Structure 1
Amino acid sequence: VTTRREGVARASGGECADAPSAMPLTAAFSFRLKDQILENTACVGLYDGERPTLTAATTGGKIFMFDPYARADEHGSDAGGASRVRYLNINKKITAVAAGALGAAHDGRDILFVGTGTDVLAYDVDTNTDVFFRDAPEGASSLRRATANAAENVPPLLLVGGNCSLQGLDATGEEAFWTVASDVVTSLGVFADGTIAVGTEDGAVRACVVAADGSERVAFEVREADAVTHIVPHDAHRGESWKEKNGPEDGRLFAFASRDGSVGARDGATLLWREKRGAAKRATCAAAFDLTGDGSPEICVGFADGTMEVRVFRTGEVLFEDAFDAPLAAIVVAETKKQRLESKSNAAGDLLACAADGEVRGYRAKGSGEGAVVPALGFGADASKGTGKEKGVVEPSVTASGRAYGFDGADADEAPAFLPSAKAPEKKKKSSKLGSLLGLKKLSVSEEDEASASAFGSASGVPNSPLRASAAVSRETLEALNKRKQTLRVELASYEKSSAALRRAENGEGGGTALAGLIPPDTAVTSSLEMDASLGHGQLVLSTNNDTVVKGVVLRGAGAFEGPEESRYFRFDEKNARRDARVPILPPGDDACDVAVHVLVAASGASPTYHVFDLEFRIPKFWGWVPLRVDQVTRDDIPAGSVSFAAAAGSVDVARWLDDTFRCDAAKAVSDDKSDVRCAFLCLKDGSRVVFEQLSTSGTACVRADTMERAGTFVDAMCVGLGIENLDSEADFPAEMDLLRETLRVVDERNALRSKLAAETADTSNAVKALIVHAEDSRILRDFPAATAAYGDLFDVNRELMVEHSKRAENHAELLKSLKHVNQVIQRASRLRYGAGAARVVKACRKAVKENKTQALFRIVAFGGADKGG
């Protein structure tokens, strides 16, 4: 696709289209907490089964719980006031927080889950007891409660993402399933049907369905340019009734955010839109919430610069915006018990946006028959401190209009009160319990406010808006036409300027210099891809159809370059500018990627002006694999590792797949299914070779490669391309097995050292306690020489504790590094199989690691989950 233009480059090729300016989003209520909120560690739980409580991690290894429903004599408070904020001391760095119900033993109450670098805690807030405490040697970087999957007979689980691993814990804390991930788990998302989407540090997003026996089935797998920090399924809060009403068309629709600042949405593996802001303005939190009240949730995203945006899931269009004074730390949905039940089919609850400095703003979904716009609110005193008669009461200066919004203190069965219809001139509403709790007072709504509310509703595209649907459609059409008009005006002005210069040159004015920047009107640019193995990379060839020259090329594409880089600029000076330009390109991965190209074309190399041509092309999958003739591969070039399996497809089908995928000529040597298939490839990324052969006489196939990762990539692509549902294999990779053996030895040493250091630290801690008691006794008895000596010894012992702590921290880091490598080997071994065979390998390897059966682990990697070979 090629377009020609003059001026600044437009966004193209999978990027989110420019959206009209968004409407400002006004909070229904707001308050400020005195505690900071750590990024992505907030949730809302119904710990008593009825009332929502905002929970978040703060500094000092603590968790605070803000309960706006707190009354006197609750939580150990005196009769003079009710404390709304309670604290839970974890005394460790908190990495993840979640809340939800597990099992029926807690009468529908939510349980608080806290993850740290070494363990996972399940805590019953209502009874002040631990439900379970489980060690997590691989860490707990992400927590998420997975709903029950009736189709697979899987109960609700707590998902714990760690260091290259994902495990599911049941209501008792026992491990229900375990699987490997390609890197550290950075985000988790759960679809309404129980499908689990896992985002990892290396940018992979993998969705799988877990069965009752602990096995998994992969639904789809995609890759982004950087770590995927947030995954938000579109139907995360929807139940079966909503799916029956609206259909399953959005069953795999989800939004995502990456560490490099990208925000986008996919329908399964298909990219719908993507927009990149840069790492400085990366997304820090995200949630799905039906703010417009049209029955379909929007994606609400908070950014590091304090901006919050509400976007349409499928198009990325920005509907509303709000701005905070501090970075957003979390966006959560608060619901009462009744609202949670209603949310299975309708929009319910409140959206809470939490800033890192403790500011919290609440938003309510647009309801049917309403036309209210809630004005901006002021801040009162700290919600957790207060300055009034009651502890924790917000000053009455905080105001809200219309009706109670979120955390309103209403009873669970109390229906929400709505504003009067727009026909009423003015009416004051009865104060809600939120007003009495937080000091909020109702304001009257005038006809002028209601008129602006109607405009707000039409701009947001809400079906229940007082304006007719045709008016909203007309407004959207006018905005689109106006944008097109402005674009055409710019292009027309450019062409008029060029025509004027041409007329002046024809009349002899300007000495011919006016033609210096003009190019023929029929100028076109063509593109093609070439591969040159001698250069170690591919080339993008850009050519013009006349004497014009290429002065520069801009390439833009996610996944087209190493690391988080997504664009490159190539400049050709006056001497090197020519009509044929060659640009090196070699994606770091093996997946296909789309690239947008902006070609700067000028009349000559010395021309000070240029014209920009926009092109789009797709780099095919396995572009970095160069086909080789089999007779070119010497004995020394044959890789040492291999994976063998029974031929699952005929020779003709395999040869056709090889030609389509790797752009080789394997089919020329295959006449029928009785022919053998042989081919070889050079991987430009690392210079290694991959050799494949399928022998019709023995009915076996073999892939030879230097690494398990390279062979697994080939096997996985072959199974997908040929429609193979299940594949078992036998693997032999001596170098990687030797490295795994050394890693397991390091793991054993580090585990033994951890136990030794823990015992020594315990002895030193006891000595500290004894010295403290001795020093205090001496001080009370005014034996100051003895007290001075005790405090001196205490100082020395404390310094020893600090040294021991640094040793433990270093040992823990090395242990995590070794465990990560073990999990990566398990993941690579599973990719040498497909379907049920891969699931058996993961399950068997996990069992061998838990039981510390090293030799069994090696046999499983070599022969699969069947554990052949004795």
Structure 2
Amino acid sequence: MDGDQTPEEQIEIGDQEQNPQLDDNVELTIAFKFSLDQRVMEGCIISAVLEPRGQSTIVAVSVTNKIIIKDTEASLNITETIRCIAAAPFGEGYDCIIIGTDASVICYDVHNNLTVFRNDVPDGVNCFAYGKLGDNEEAIYCGGNCCIWGFDRYGANTYWTVTGDQVTTMCLSDYDGDGETELVIGSPDFEIRVFKNDLMRAELMETDEITSLSHVAAGCFAYSLNNGTIGTYVLKERQWRIKSKSNVSKIFNFEEEGLMVVVWKQGKVDLRFAHNGEVLSRHSVSNIVASATLMKRGDEDMVTVVGLDGKITGFQIQKATHGAIDKTQQLIREFGQKKHNLMMELSNYEQEEQLTEQERAGDFRIPADTDVAVLFVVNCESQLLSLRVEASHDIPIRGVLIFAEGLFDGESYIWIPPNEHQSRSTIDIPLVIDKDSTNDLHTKVFLGHVDSNKLMVMENTRILPRFCRFTLLKDEYAKFFFMPTGYIKFEINTKAAKLSDWVQESFTIDSSLVEMFDDAEGEFKFMGLRPKHDQSLMFKISHAQKTFEIYHDSIETMGAIVQSYASFFQIQDMECVAHFPDVFKEATEILEELEPMTEVRDRLTAELQERQTAVREVIIRAEDAIAIDNIPDARKCYIRLKANDAAARQAANLRIFQKYSEIFRWNNQDRCVKSLRRLNKIIENCARLRVGEPGRQIVSSCRSAISEDNKQIITKVLQYGASSQ
């Protein structure tokens, strides 16, 4: 076990062959130490080659919002608040610094001391990723609030798409093993989203906010969560994960394929195998880590860890002199533990064989053929889903341990019977489902008579269906059905021949009722279970018209159902007609609000720029007057400077703080960003109601309509699809 894990935390390892080419006889050693002599901002540290044929150097952002470069006295002053920085090879043989602020993205060429481009990003930039995405040329990708922007080396906008939440981290990795890289993004809503070009390819549900993503090997990317979990995905499947008490600062690949470095905020630095998470070497620094990066020194890559106090420690990888001995001792300990466990088990069998018949009768023996059934049951009266555990031969259940990530607090649940239920052989454990996601329930059931001092442990695994909070409604419970107002309608695909298979896999439904979906025709009503028991679902199928209608009021859930349906039957492209009156009304209201808000923002921005230009002009005149010893004119210029500076400050305050009307009770810029974020969310939800190219066209058509100020067609596109234009 790792030193940063609690006793109950385990490593989950998927099936994967060991890589014989990896050398596990390596370790991290300290190569250098120095200090920037300034406190730095968390997460804002990179290494870059800033001069032609130059050496890699450290670039960081100080807590005073300045960009500092190691071994130089100069610093870059940015008027906007810096959120993140990156390096991109936009120069001729050197890197440019990419700066993400709360309002724009700036590309700065240190070698030529010029700004290559500066593009406005209304909702700010939270993170960067540089590289080649699919068929696109290499570009810098910027993650914002519900949008992703891509800019080439000249600042041209080459990519734009929307996503469901803020983008807090991103990386480029070959997710599906097709030889082309996909864009993998992480968000605070616990989801990892994978984009193939500008179309979302997959959603991976995790148990906490995604804090870091990194490509670490071919077809493999690593992730970390806010609760201290780290792990990897290899070709769509999660291979392993480790939950720690610490939080991760940075993850990246190092030296060779198959190795990854994990830098923890508390100062630990781990060198691990990417395919199973095994630690090869561990080191630490004494200060709290701000971030880490790889820095070239000669031909060797150095793991460079930067503390919040500006102290920098560099690590190199080298052959370990004691690794073989440590590995042998570890194997001896493991085999010794296995031997001890087997000897204890053998001793128990020998003691049992020596028991007499009378002793056996008083020993409350459990029959060898005892079985435990674990199944899902629905209480329609209370609209509650429960996990039922039944033990055969009326053997009392003394306790149940359930592990399911994201379902329970702490990811586990323990049931111990109260005194009055010590002899029960059947129990029901209520399940409260908040999210539509497939989950594995691993159960350990402890069986034994009340007076027995020995317990039998039975293990079982059940898969919780993705839409388990819906169950097929029986006629006697029709009062629990609420007719939804939202629906989608699409043509029945020839691939979707056996609907019962998909329904049985995705919903909570009695096996005896599944057959009715084989030749489905008519209406099928589903009741919502707690906590969202007031949300009903209905299928309306007509083979004569070859149409499939799904009624439900939550557009997010509807999108998940459509994607599940298409994925199960391997449908590549699917168009639909959508009807969500409340959502489309909200989109219309946002579009109507955006135009005056944008006009006010543009007017105030132009006024501010005009005032700033006047200030710069007066400064130049004053300096010229001093240079020719014309003190009276210089005095007049400085008087004008004071007045223009006050006017510029007033314009800036108006742009930032003024309330423009009784409708907008808060800052116009803030309201504009929130409205754009909600509009992007609506566009993404409507795109997920389609599959493949029709979904991608929804995003691109809405983007074109917004850029061309043709907002009146957006609602029509959301409802009828891009082909309706």
TM-score class, shorter-chain normalisation, is 0.7 to 0.9
| Structure 2 counterpart of 1:463 | none
Please give the alpha-carbon distance, in whole angstroms, between the structure 2 residues aligned to 1:668 and 1:506. Answer: 51
Q: In the TM superposition, what whole-angstrom CA distance separates every residue of 1:240-295 from its partner, at most 9, and x where no partner exists?
A: xxxxxxxxxx42x11110112111111133111111124xx2212111113xxxx4
| Structure 1 counterpart of 2:428 | 582
Match of 2:536 among 686, 689, 692: 689
Which amino acid counterpart does residue 259 of structure 2 have in structure 1? Answer: E
| Structure 1 counterpart of 2:413 | 568
3-state SS in 1 of match to 2:677: helix
Please give the alpha-carbon distance, in whole angstroms, between the structure 1 residues aligned to 2:518 and 2:455. Answer: 53
Match of 1:195 among 166, 182, 188: 182
Match of 1:168 among 150, 160, 163: 150
Which amino acid counterpart does residue 120 of structure 1 have in structure 2? Answer: V
Q: CA deviation at 1:831?
A: 0.7
Q: CA deviation at 1:599?
A: 4.2
Which amino acid counterpart does residue 303 of structure 1 have in structure 2? Answer: W
3-state SS in 1 of match to 2:498: helix
Q: CA deviation at 1:852?
A: 3.0
| Structure 1 counterpart of 2:243 | 276
Query: Which residues of 2 match residues 123-142 of structure 1 at below 5 A?
Result: 123-142=108-127
Q: CA deviation at 1:335?
A: 2.8
| Structure 2 counterpart of 1:828 | 685
Q: Is the 8 A contact 2:128 2:142 kept in 1?
A: yes
Query: Which residues of 2 match residues 486-635 of structure 1 at below 5 A?
Result: 487=341, 520=366, 525-545=372-392, 549-561=396-408, 565-577=410-422, 578-599=424-445, 603-604=449-450, 614-628=459-473
1:143 is the counterpart of 2:10: no
1:316 is the counterpart of 2:277: yes
3-state SS in 1 of match to 2:119: strand
1:357 is the counterpart of 2:296: no
- The answer to which structure has the higher strand fraction is 2
Give the TM-score of the pair, scaled to structure 2: 0.81
Q: 1:146 to 1:536 in 2, by over 3 A?
A: farther
Q: CA deviation at 1:701?
A: 2.1
Please give the alpha-carbon distance, in whole angstroms, between the structure 1 residues aligned to 2:667 and 2:453. Answer: 58
Match of 2:551 among 680, 687, 704: 704
3-state SS in 1 of match to 2:506: helix
Q: CA deviation at 1:183?
A: 0.8
Match of 1:455 among 290, 304, 322: 322
Match of 1:40 among 38, 43, 48: 43
Q: Is the 8 A contact 2:498 2:517 kept in 1?
A: no
Q: CA deviation at 1:600?
A: 5.2
1:287 is the counterpart of 2:275: no
Q: 1:676 to 1:616 in 2, by over 3 A?
A: closer
Q: Is the 8 A contact 1:856 1:867 kept in 2?
A: no
Give the TM-score of the pair, scaled to structure 1: 0.69
Q: Is the 8 A contact 2:80 2:103 kept in 1?
A: no
Please give the alpha-carbon distance, in whole angstroms, between the structure 2 residues aligned to 1:551 and 1:357. Answer: 54
Please give the alpha-carbon distance, in whole angstroms, between the structure 1 residues aligned to 2:337 and 2:657. Answer: 60
Match of 2:100 among 112, 115, 130: 115
| Structure 2 counterpart of 1:445 | none
Q: Is the 8 A contact 1:16 1:275 kept in 2?
A: no
Query: Which residues of 2 match residues 729-768 of structure 1 at below 5 A?
Result: 729-755=576-602
Please give the alpha-carbon distance, in whole angstroms, between the structure 1 residues aligned to 2:12 and 2:386. Answer: 20
Please give the alpha-carbon distance, in whole angstroms, between the structure 2 residues aligned to 1:25 and 1:63. Answer: 29
Q: Is the 8 A contact 2:10 2:243 kept in 1?
A: no
Q: CA deviation at 1:534?
A: 3.0
| Structure 2 counterpart of 1:851 | 708
3-state SS in 2 of match to 1:558: coil
Segments of structure 2 that go 5 or more residues without pairing to the other structure are 1-6, 17-23, 175-179, 620-630, 633-641, 660-665
| Structure 2 counterpart of 1:654 | 499
Q: CA deviation at 1:300?
A: 1.2
3-state SS in 2 of match to 1:28: strand
Q: 1:263 to 1:12 in 2, by over 3 A?
A: closer
Q: In the TM superposition, what whole-angstrom CA distance separates every residue of 1:623-673 from its partner, at most 9, and x where no partner exists?
A: 22212258976898332112122221267433443344335567644676x
Which amino acid counterpart does residue 59 of structure 2 have in structure 1? Answer: T
Q: 1:670 to 1:94 in 2, by over 3 A?
A: closer
Q: 1:56 to 1:611 in 2, by over 3 A?
A: farther
Percent of aligned pairs with the same amino acid: 22
3-state SS in 2 of match to 1:866: helix
Which amino acid counterpart does residue 478 of structure 1 have in structure 2? Answer: I
User: Greater CA deviation, 223-232 or 756-765?
Assistant: 756-765
Q: In the TM superposition, what whole-angstrom CA distance separates every residue of 1:695-735 from its partner, at most 9, and x where no partner exists?
A: 22222222222132222222111111111111111111111
Which amino acid counterpart does residue 627 of structure 1 have in structure 2? Answer: L
Q: 1:459 to 1:847 in 2, by over 3 A?
A: farther
| Structure 1 counterpart of 2:334 | 480
Q: Is the 8 A contact 1:630 1:680 kept in 2?
A: no
3-state SS in 2 of match to 1:637: coil
3-state SS in 1 of match to 2:129: strand
Q: Is the 8 A contact 2:397 2:425 kept in 1?
A: yes
Q: Is the 8 A contact 1:287 1:331 kept in 2?
A: no
Which amino acid counterpart does residue 597 of structure 1 have in structure 2? Answer: T
Q: 1:741 to 1:142 in 2, by over 3 A?
A: same
Q: CA deviation at 1:767?
A: 12
3-state SS in 2 of match to 1:41: strand
Please give the alpha-carbon distance, in whole angstroms, between the structure 2 residues aligned to 1:579 and 1:85. Answer: 75
Which amino acid counterpart does residue 187 of structure 2 have in structure 1? Answer: T
| Structure 1 counterpart of 2:52 | 49
Q: Is the 8 A contact 1:651 1:670 kept in 2?
A: no
Q: CA deviation at 1:766?
A: 11
Q: In the TM superposition, what whole-angstrom CA distance separates every residue of 1:70-102 from its partner, at most 9, and x where no partner exists?
A: xxxxxxxxxxxxx44542112333211110124
Q: 1:224 to 1:520 in 2, by over 3 A?
A: same
3-state SS in 1 of match to 2:572: coil
Q: 1:573 to 1:623 in 2, by over 3 A?
A: same
| Structure 2 counterpart of 1:80 | none
Q: Is the 8 A contact 1:630 1:678 kept in 2?
A: no
Q: In the TM superposition, what whole-angstrom CA distance separates every residue of 1:94-119 from its partner, at most 9, and x where no partner exists?
A: 211110124xxx31321110101211
Query: Which residues of 2 match residues 236-315 of structure 1 at below 5 A?
Result: 250-251=218-219, 253-278=220-245, 281-290=246-255, 295-315=256-276
Match of 2:572 among 725, 731, 747: 725
Please give the alpha-carbon distance, in whole angstroms, between the structure 2 residues aligned to 1:163 and 1:321. Answer: 36
Q: 1:548 to 1:632 in 2, by over 3 A?
A: closer
| Structure 2 counterpart of 1:208 | 195
Q: Is the 8 A contact 1:9 1:598 kept in 2?
A: no
User: Greater CA deviation, 39-48 or 616-625?
Assistant: 616-625
Query: Which residues of 2 match residues 56-135 of structure 1 at below 5 A?
Result: 56-66=60-70, 83-84=71-72, 86-102=74-90, 106-135=91-120
Q: In the TM superposition, what whole-angstrom CA distance separates every residue of 1:778-801 from its partner, at most 9, and x where no partner exists?
A: xx99xxxxxxxxx9xx99998998
3-state SS in 2 of match to 1:226: coil
Which amino acid counterpart does residue 696 of structure 2 have in structure 1? Answer: A
Q: Is the 8 A contact 1:556 1:597 kept in 2?
A: yes
3-state SS in 1 of match to 2:471: strand
Q: 1:558 to 1:172 in 2, by over 3 A?
A: same
Q: CA deviation at 1:565?
A: 4.7
Please give the alpha-carbon distance, in whole angstroms, between the structure 2 residues aligned to 1:498 and 1:331. Answer: 58
Q: How many pairs align?
A: 674
Q: CA deviation at 1:760?
A: 7.8
3-state SS in 2 of match to 1:860: helix
Q: 1:804 to 1:856 in 2, by over 3 A?
A: closer
Please give the alpha-carbon distance, in whole angstroms, between the structure 1 residues aligned to 2:458 and 2:714. Answer: 56
Please give the alpha-carbon distance, in whole angstroms, between the structure 2 residues aligned to 1:548 and 1:9. Answer: 28
